[in-house]
Amino acid sequence: MTNIAEGFERESNNEFIKFLTYSKGLCGEVRSLLYVALDLDYINQAEFDENYCKSISIIAQTSKFKHIYSQV
């Protein structure tokens, strides 16, 4: 969310799209850290599954937003 806000404040379509891309990448990092948390027993399988699905949804939403915004 903070990357999206920062990109928006740059007042440039190209910068905003670049920061949307950063946001997608960070969601990928979160997904990988979910595996670490599961392996270290910080979270259980149900918590992993729930948060993994949320991360996929956020990536999809960010991709759609990026696509829409690049059409402007």
Q: Is 28 exposed, middle or buried (0-12, 13-18, 19+ CB in 10 A)?
A: exposed
Question: Counting beta carbons within 10 angstroms of the beta carbon of residue 23, is it exposed (0 to 12), middle (13 to 18) or buried (19 or more)?
Answer: buried
Say what the pLDDT of residue 4 is.
86
Spell out the per-residue pLDDT of the chain, length 72, in tens: 888 889 889 888 889 899 999 999 999 999 999 999 999 999 999 999 999 999 999 999 999 988 988 887
Strands (E), the chain: none
pTM: 0.80
